[in-house]
A = this chain, B = another copy of it.
Amino acid sequence: MPDNGQKLKLPRLKRIKFVPRQQRKTNTTTKRDPEELKCSCDSSFKTYDLRERQDRDQYEQKDGLSIGGSPSDASESSQDNNNNLSSSVDASNEHETAMSNLQEKETDINQLPEQTRPQMQTIAELSCPVRALKYRNGIHTLGGGLGERQRNRQGICNKHMPWFGIDVGGSLVKVVFFDPKDTTDEELVTLKRIRRYLKSSKAYGATGKRDSHLEMPNCLINKRQGSLHFIRFATSEMPEFLAMAHSKRFAETVNTICATGGGACKFEQDLRNNLGIRLHKTDELDSIIYGIHYIDKYNSDRECYFLEDPLDDQKCVKVPYNFSKPYPYLVVNIGSGVSILAVYSSTSYSRISGSSIGGGTFLGLCCLLTQCGTFDEAIRMANEGSSTKVDKLVKDIYGGDYPKFNLSGDTVASNFGHMNLEERRKNVKREDLARALLEMVTINIGSIARMCAVNEGIDRVVFIGNFLRVNQLSMKLLSYAVNYWSKGAIKALFLEHEGYFGAVGCFVESTQDCNKQ
């Protein structure tokens, strides 16, 4: 039986309204009590445009990436993205003000002071040898310390800044392209070719997609101003990508690409041989943390959010969450598999757990069971199905609740527990199987994440990764389940740029090293 999880009867998928906060509240303590968590966001405000942001420099504090409240005259605009968000207010007049502000004051992550590590649990507290196990991988310092940093700088710092950061994962390659505003004539030749190719379409090859709704204009990276563009394609198409990049001569000016993810190791030789490109590799998990902190800083007004009333189809809204004092928090990165990181400060974290039951499991099993072809199709099917004929519930075994252990009759006792009987298999649709799979994978991840949060004494869990793309169902399930299991003490948070933090972090981290040289 599951971990006290009530069976989550979700309504049919519906657009989630986005309701921004009126004003950020700065948290003064690192550890907050559940009651404080509940009121840390005000959900009675207007809609933001993802491609716009307001100047936040004046609200910055001195401790690393922590950013204070947004101004009361925060700018909003009509919404223009394809991420199932609905506009609640059109504030286009404020758009121009925000844009002009941005051009005057840019945020450069390199100018931020490094934060010291907060108080950690001491070894003395871990006197039990079994308990001490959870710290066996140790605390990691971002960038791997000075020695690793110095090695990293070699090879990245040419006279031209790199344009690309790529994160080659188990299923998807995530690419960020930095398009600078001010360029040398030499750069311009290559850049024009890249721009023409990228901006002419939102789709490339069989699986390539540009997530234009996530575009981040007016970034300042390594003292250069420009825009970040977000592109993804299947890792299985990596050879086609290399051929395309070769034919379009993307590598003529810049011969180094910032890369992370497992594929940065696996495809390194191919990239060097086929394109003459050297990879500036960074650690995958380091990069994710860098990326989260950079993007949340850039996009602090709306990057981080939670779902209010996740199971109520009419009331469910996305509410921005004040992530300006984030430490400690948990990151649950759901890609093909799952990694769970406890982040203690802007520079230190630990990989505390993981699971091999992740997005790749959902898609792989869904393809086997339903003959679907893509992740998007699998998610669409899940939204149209029901798991009640597939799973065995507590009430199927008990005839009702099991109150002694707070198990409602609607709790799933056994995923796919009815499917051993042929007559039951005849009565389920492909959509039901897809739905049952999605719920099984999601609830298992939520349950493990909750255990990690409880054991680390952390009350904020940030779920990221491309498993959550176009997958509001899992976000709703995670929101409801984490809240229910923890009686409101632990909060499930989400970030708009779901799966791109590794690519962004790797790019930012690499150019940061370059700047210091």
* Closest B residue, CB atoms, query A169: B397
- Does B131 lie within 8 Å of A457, measured CB to CB? yes
Q: Which residues of B contact A451 (CB under 8 A)?
A: 353, 448, 451-452, 455
CA distance A142 to B206 in the complex (A): 61
CA distance A369 to B390 in the complex (A): 14
The reply to whether the CB of A471 lies closer than 8 angstroms to some CB of chain B is no
Q: Which residues of B contact A416 (CB under 8 A)?
A: 360-361, 364-365, 368
Min C-beta distance of A135 to chain B, whole Å: 10
Tell me which of A54-62, A193-201, A486-494 binds B. Answer: A486-494
Min C-beta distance of A290 to chain B, whole Å: 15
- Does B415 lie within 8 Å of A356, measured CB to CB? yes
The reply to whether the CB of A33 lies closer than 8 angstroms to some CB of chain B is yes
The reply to whether the CB of A22 lies closer than 8 angstroms to some CB of chain B is no
The reply to whether the CB of A137 lies closer than 8 angstroms to some CB of chain B is yes
**A–B complex contacts, Cβ < 8 Å, 24 sampled:** A4-B354, A5-B356, A129-B459, A129-B489, A130-B459, A130-B486, A131-B454, A137-B405, A137-B406, A170-B392, A170-B413, A170-B417, A262-B394, A263-B398, A266-B399, A283-B404, A355-B444, A355-B447, A359-B414, A360-B392, A360-B417, A363-B419, A365-B416, A448-B448
CA distance A486 to B130 in the complex (A): 8
- Does B369 lie within 8 Å of A454, measured CB to CB? no
Chain A 152-180 interface residues, beta-carbon cutoff 8 Å to B:
169-171
Min C-beta distance of A152 to chain B, whole Å: 14
Min C-beta distance of A254 to chain B, whole Å: 24
Instruction: Give the one of A337, A363, A440, A455 with max B CB within 10 A.
Output: A337
Indicate the size class of the contact surface on chain A.
Answer: 35 or more
- Does B415 lie within 8 Å of A361, measured CB to CB? yes
Copies of this subunit: 2
Q: Which residues of B contact A390 (CB under 8 A)?
A: 364
- Does A490 lie within 8 Å of B1, measured CB to CB? no
- Does B368 lie within 8 Å of A425, measured CB to CB? yes
Interface residues as binary, A409-442 with B (CB distance below 8 Å gives 1, 0 otherwise): 0011111111111100100000001000000100
- Does B130 lie within 8 Å of A489, measured CB to CB? yes
- Does B129 lie within 8 Å of A33, measured CB to CB? yes
Min C-beta distance of A350 to chain B, whole Å: 10
* Closest B residue, CB atoms, query A443: B356
Residues of A within 8 A of B (CB): 1-5, 31, 33-34, 128-131, 133-134, 136-137, 140, 169-171, 236, 261-263, 265-266, 283, 285, 336-339, 351, 353-361, 363-365, 367-369, 375, 390-392, 394, 396-400, 402, 404-406, 411-422, 425, 433, 440, 443-444, 447-448, 451-455, 457-459, 485-487, 489-490
Q: Which residues of B contact A356 (CB under 8 A)?
A: 1-2, 5, 391, 411-415, 440, 443-444
Min C-beta distance of A465 to chain B, whole Å: 12
- Does A262 lie within 8 Å of B398, measured CB to CB? yes
* Closest B residue, CB atoms, query A133: B454
